[in-house]
Amino acid sequence: MSGRELAGQVAIVTGAARAIGRTTAETLAARGATVVSIDLLPADDTVAAIEAGGGTALALAADVTDEAAVEDAVARVTGTYGRVDVLVNNAGLFAGIERRPFWEIPLDEWEHVLTVNVRSVFLCSRAVAAPMREAGVGRIVNIASNVITFGMANLMHYVASKSAVVGITRSMARELGPSGIAVNAVAPGLVTTEITAQTVPEEYRRLVAEGQCLQQAILPSDIAEAVAYLAGPAARMITGQTVLVNGGATMGPA
């Protein structure tokens, strides 16, 4: 489905200034949604791209790990548009994390990764729960990672944070379901973005692709399309699920 099925809806995408978040914001806008970016980074390019395509967008600068900032941002969205229909918890920390054994991870680094990747999901979801529950409908899509299926050595804090996102997704699905709100997660494999192109060696990216059933690079648009499906009416009876978008990398040996 790629029509205007989200027309009239308001979607918040955290971390929409670049990479998966930007592509997701543009994809939801193409489906007709008014898209609000909440990001520490300037999202002017995202807004400009959406508006150039005839869509409507707004960029709010906020730290999604800060309770007051999140509450204020969501209040501005509801004050401006009167509703929040979709929340995509995309903001997260991966690039720049040093890979090392867990016994060498400093406590402040552990807490920073968990704060960015987990607290933000909790705070943003809690902030939109009230307007969604009042409306009796809503969609929350959390971005996890396929590392939850196999673990990853030397990135325990990242694996722990994305595993927590899956647990949060399931719990929220049970709590919000009676209010007509569906909550799901999308777990990407290694996505080719400007960030991974700079931080992940090409040889490693090639080896990852060769380990997939579909031996092609995973693109931000692949993730965005999965998010858009879960945000749309066709997925109205899907909740509490984690959709792996990883080219079949975690199916196990044949």
Active site residues: 158
CB 184 within 8 A of CB 239: yes
Distance CA 224, CA 65 (A): 23
Q: In the β-sheet with 86-89, what is the strand arrangement from edge to edge?
A: 57-61, 34-39, 10-14, 86-89, 138-143, 181-188, 242-245
Q: Which residue has the tokens 């520490």?
A: 40
Distance CA 51, CA 55 (A): 5
Q: Which residue has the tokens 């400007």?
A: 194
**Which is nearest to 73 in space by CA: 112, 18, 131?**
131
Ramachandran angles phi, psi of 190, nearest 5°: -75, 110
